[in-house]
Amino acid sequence: MKPTLRAVAEAVGVSRSTVSNAYSRPDQLSTELRRRILDAAREMGYPGPDPTARSLRRGYVGAIGVLFTSRLSYAFTDPFATQFLTGVAQAAERHGSSLLLVPLPADAAGARKAVENAAVDGFCVYCGGDEEGEIVDAIRGRGLPFVTTSARPRAEDRWVGIDERAAARSVAEHLTGLGHRRVALLADSVLPDAAPGPVRVGDLADVPHPTTRERLAGFADAFAAVGVDWSQLTILSAADNSRPAGAAAVGAPDALPEPITAVLACADVLALGALDTLREAGRHLAVTGFDDIAEAAPVGLTTVRQPGVEKGRRAAELLLDPPVDTDAHQILLPTTLVVRTSAGPAPRS
């Protein structure tokens, strides 16, 4: 049987609170008494009070949770996610806090359980998806603070984000200005269980992830303004948000359902994958991305720059040291269109 604090107290002939003080408040005991308690605990194999339980009892754990609706490895392999986490870590270090990365299972019950079991003082919700509402409800149920990376409807909610739709529209308008009309829009998991490649999306409301939905809507806005409606746009679905998935979604460029002159990707990693496939096939289509990760500049990728590190840092600051003025609890960060060489004029027909 695992030794307990009670067993140590009985062996030494002291109270349980005295044994607890030997670990958490040594100044309350004489040197000799503390030594006797620790020696007895060591002989019995008692490791000391559970630090997590002790933290929870005092109402402070010293850690913030970052919730991902993806596999844990995404936090270390996706370039923009690592930028965001760098910013969160910078703020956490200044406040003496740790980070707990919490990947959320796809099912609602599993996601709720992950939130309920995480020993943290609050949460940063990174790219919560459509299930974000249930996740937030679970956090509220625990009475913990949270910050999201997308806008929330309640005035008291804290969030740090960008105008996804306007940012996507800016890069699409750049392409329409270059004469592009026959284009493909590339995003990951456009529809549930969609195979890589072209998919038919009858309505943007069918796209499950709000960030993807907003970026596709921004692209569509720009093309609608020049007379190209949603039904005329080719939609390419990638299996996930990665360079190989972007390459696989484009597939054999000659097999696309209609001749296109440009690919607008919802993320730089997808755009880089599209460029890999197109260049291997000897096709010279315009390609644009979103995020402006470090790998974008060397290949000349035209993209939208958003401040990833600042986004993470300010999200964590809102969580750890929220301003008294609630008007400052919601932060809209700027984006910038970065024009490079990957998107030239449309060929004359």
Q: Are residues 174 and 154 in the same domain?
A: no
CA distances from 202 to 48, 191, 205, 233, 240 (A): 60, 11, 9, 11, 21
Task: Answer yes or no: is pLDDT of 153 > 80.
Answer: no
Q: Are residues 131 and 67 in the same domain?
A: yes
Residue 258 pLDDT: 72
pLDDT above 70 covers a percentage of the chain that reads 93
Any domain includes 18: no
Number of domains present in the structure of the chain: 2
Per the CB < 8 A criterion, the answer to whether 156 and 330 are in contact is no
Task: Answer yes or no: is pLDDT of 85 > 50.
Answer: yes
* Domain CATH for 72: 3.40.50.2300
The vertex-14 CA angle with 13 and 20, nearest 5°, equals 135
Confidence (pTM): 0.81
Residue 56 pLDDT: 43
Task: Answer yes or no: is pLDDT of 4 > 90.
Answer: no
CA distances from 145 to 91, 137, 225, 311 (A): 16, 11, 41, 18
pLDDT digits (tens, 9 = 90+) for 172-192: 999 999 999 999 999 998 998
Q: Which domain holds residue 175?
A: 164-305
Any domain includes 282: yes
Residue 324 pLDDT: 77
pLDDT digits (tens, 9 = 90+) for 116-143: 888 899 999 987 665 567 888 888 888 8
Q: Are residues 189 and 296 in the same domain?
A: yes
Residue 57 pLDDT: 46
As a whole number of angstroms, the distance between CA 256 and CA 264 comes to: 14
Question: Which residue do the tokens 């993806």 mark?
Answer: 70
Closest CA to 265 of 247, 288, 282, 244: 288
Q: Are residues 152 and 260 in the same domain?
A: no
End-to-end CA distance of the chain: 81
Q: Are residues 257 and 314 in the same domain?
A: no
Higher local confidence (pLDDT), 57 or 145: 145
Any domain includes 41: no
Task: Answer yes or no: is pLDDT of 71 > 90.
Answer: no
Across the chain, what does the average pLDDT equal? 89
